[in-house]
Chains A and B, each alone.
Chain A
Amino acid sequence: MKQTIISPAKANSMYWLGRYTERIYLQLHLLRKCFDKMIDGKPEDYNGYLSSIGNTFTYADLEQERYALVHDKYNPVSILSCIERANDNALIIRDEITSPTLGYIQMSMETLRRAAADGEQPTVDELQDLTDWMLAFWGSIEERVYDDRVKTLLKIGKLVEHIDMNIRFAYKFYRIEEAFASLVTCFQKEPRAFNADAMDALREAIDEKSYDPKDPVYVNKVQILLGNLVTL
C-alpha cells in the first residue's frame, strides 16, 4: 500500500493542476461563445471575453485572433499555454494521478501542438475533443485515485479557479455559491491548506447581498482573497 504523504511541492502541483484544468474547461466553453459572436457581432460583443480572461496580446485581424486564443503558445491565456502549464504540474505527480489520467493532459497538449504547428484554425471538433478530455481527466481522477487527500488538493484548485472565472464572467450568484460550499467542505477536510483569515473574508464577500460582479472593485477584492486563500 502506497504511503499517503504528500510533499509541499507536489501539493502545490496538485493545486495548480486543478486550477489549470478547470480554466481550460471553462475557457473552452466561453471561447465557443466568443467565436460565435465573432461571426457577425461587433468587437464590443466579444472584447469582453478577451479582457475577462486577462488577454493583453493584440492581433492583426480576427482570423489571427481566433488562431491565437487557442494555439499561440506565447500568449499565457491561450488554451495551449494553459494545457502546457497543466502538463508541467501533472508530470510531477504522475505517481499520484496515474499514467492513464496523465494521458488526457498529454493527448490534449499534443493535439494542440500539432494543430498549432500546422497553422490551422481551431475546429469545433478539436475544441470538443479538448472539452471531453478535460471531463475524462476528472473522471479518471475519481476512478483511479484513492487517496482522498490528493483528490481534495486537486479539487481546491478546481474550485478556486471555478469561482474566479465565474465572477470574471459575471455568472449568477447561485453558481458561485455552490462552488463556494464545496470549497468550504475542502476547508473542513484540509484546514491547514487554507489561510483562515482569507477564508473568513471570502465568506463575507460571497454573499448574495454583496455579490456584485459588475463592480471592478468587488471583483478585484474577491480575486485577491482567492489568491491568498491557499497556503500550499
Chain B
Amino acid sequence: MQSLIENRDSVNRWLERYGVRFGVYKGGVFNEQLFPFDSIPRIIAREDWQMLEKGLVQRVKALNAFLWDIYHEKNIIKDGVVPEEFVYSSKGYMPECEGIDPEGRIYSHISGIDLVEGKDGSWFILEDNLRIPSGASYPMIAREITRKVSPVTFIDNHVADNRDYAVLLKEMMDSVNKGRGINVILTPGRYNSAFFEHSYLAEKTGAVLAFPGDMTVEDDIVWYTGLFKEKIRVGAIYRRVSDEYLDPMAFEASSLLGVPNLFQAYRKGNVAVINGFGNGVADDKGIYYFVPKMVRYYLHEEPILHNAPTYLPYFKEDYDYILANIGKLVIKDVSEAGGYGVVFGRDLSPEKLEELKTLIVEQPRRWIAQEVIDFKDLEILEGMEKVERKADLRAFVVSGADGVKVWKSGLTRFSRNPDSFVVNSSQGGGFKDTWVMED
C-alpha cells in the first residue's frame, strides 16, 4: 500500500494521460477537470462484501419487480403497501410506460446504489439510482493504472479484479438486445459532464458511441446511420440521456438530444433501452422509504440491507417527529439529485428552520427527512498527510435477462471539505478505488 501512496503522482499522470475528466458548468462556461483520485483505497472485507452482494441483488430484484408491477398490475398499490399518491405524483412516473414489457422484465439494468458505512460497521442505503447512474469508469480505469504503477501492492493484497465491468455490461446488453442489432452507447455529446465515461465504456464494451442525430427510426426499427447512408440495425441502446429528452416525438419536443420515435420502437419491443423508460418512479427519494417493504412484498424475504432511518411528512407520526426534531435531521428535496436540495437542520439559523418547516407543511410530499448517520470517515491524503473525510460507496448492480450481478468494486466518493457530508464530484469531491478482498 505504501508503494501506491508514494506513486500517487504517477497514478495521476496516467489518469491525465487517458483524459480521465469530468465536465462542470459554472456561470454558463464549460470546464473539464480531473476527478481528484486518492490512492488510499476503501477496503471491504470478503465477508462484508458477501453480505452486501446478497443485499444488493435482493434490493435491485425488488426494485425491478416494483417497476414492472407499477406499469402493469399495480398490486403493491392495491394491497396498500405503497400509497398511490407516492407513485402517481412522482415526477418519475411515466403513464406512457403502462403495459410495456421490457426483455426479462428488467427496467433497471444498471443500478447505482449509494451506501454509507456507519462507525459500527453496519451499512445503510442512502439512495437508489436507477435512471443513469454514472461513475463506474473511474475506479475501472484507476485499477488498470494502479496495477501498472504499483504491482507489488496487488501482489501483497489479494484484491478481487474489477476490470470485468465492461464484460458485465456487454453481456447484459447482449442478453436484452433485440433483433441481433448492434449495441450503442448514446451520449448527449462532447460537453456532457460524463463524456469521458461514455466514450471509455464504448471503447471497452465494443459498443458504438452514438451521438444525437446518429440514429433514426423507420417502421419502428432503430437504425444507426453510417457514412453514405449505410444503415445498421440497433438492438440495444445504453442511453446516457434522460427520459424527457430521449424522444422529441413522445416527450420534450424541443430536445435535440434524442431519437425521434424511439419510444414507439421501444414500446413495440424492437429495441432495448438501458436503463428503461420510467425508472424515475422507483428512485424517487419518497419511494426509497418503501423499498424494504417492496423486498418483503415481492420476494417474501427480510431486507438484508437497511435504509438510513427515514421519515415521510406524509405520515402524521413522521410529520410530527420531523417538525419537532428538524434541527437534528437532514432534509432532502425529493425532486433534486447530485447532492443538491440536501439541507442539514443543524446548519440552519432559527429563521431558516422556520422557513423550511413552512415548506414542509405546505408541500409534505416534496420532502423526506433522515437521521444524520454518523458514518465512518475514510483516510485520504492531503499533501502527504493523512486526514479523515466523509465518504460513500456507489455499488453497481448489473441486471440482464440472464441474471443479476454485482460488480466487485464500486465508486468511493469522498468530500474534500472537512465539514461537509456532500461527496458529489460536481461539488468538489474526489474518488478512491474500492477493494473487495479475496481473503
Q: Report which A residues bind B (CB closer than 8 A).
A: 1-3, 5-9, 11, 88, 91-92, 94-95, 98-100, 102-103, 106-107, 110, 192-193, 232
Contacts and interface: CB of A to CB of B under 8 A. Distances in A.
B337 to A, nearest CB: 26
A192 B208 contact: no
B233 to A, nearest CB: 10
Contacts of B210: 7
B195 interface: yes
A86 B262 CA distance: 33
B199 A94 contact: yes
B143 to A, nearest CB: 14
A102 B232 contact: no
B352 interface: no
Contact of A7 (B200, B202, B203, B214): B214
B16 interface: yes
B18 A103 contact: yes
A196 B195 CA distance: 37
Given A91-B195, A94-B203, A95-B203, A8 B227 contact: yes
Q: Shortest 6 CB-CB distances between A and B: which pairs? A: A95-B202, A5-B226, A94-B199, A95-B203, A103-B17, A2-B206
5 contacts: A7-B227, A92-B190, A94-B203, A106-B18, A192-B227
Contact of B203 (A9, A98, A103): A98
B124 interface: no
Contacts of A103: 17-19
Contact of A94 (B202, B214, B226): B202
Nearest to B226: A5
Contacts of B182: 3, 5
Nearest to A97: B203
B230 interface: yes
B202 A5 contact: no
B208 A95 contact: yes
B211 interface: yes
Contacts of A94: 19, 199-200, 202-203, 209
Contacts, number: 72
Q: How large is the interface on B (under 10, 10 to 19, 20 to 34, 35 or more residues)?
A: 20 to 34
B140 to A, nearest CB: 11
A191 B138 CA distance: 41
B228 A5 contact: no
A6 B225 CA distance: 8
A88 B206 CA distance: 21
B203 A99 contact: yes
Given A2-B206, A3-B232, A98-B203, A91 B227 contact: no
Given A9-B214, A99-B19, A100-B18, 13 more contacts: A2-B208, A5-B208, A5-B232, A6-B226, A7-B211, A11-B227, A91-B190, A91-B199, A94-B200, A95-B199, A103-B18, A107-B17, A192-B227
A9 B18 contact: no
Contacts of A100: 18
Contacts of A98: 203
A97 to B, nearest CB: 9
Nearest to B213: A9
A99 B227 contact: no
Interface in B218-258: 224-228, 230, 232
Given A2-B206, A88-B190, A99 B211 contact: no
B131 to A, nearest CB: 23
Nearest to B32: A91
A221 B208 CA distance: 39
B141 to A, nearest CB: 8
Given A103-B17, A106-B19, A7 B199 contact: no
B16 A7 contact: no
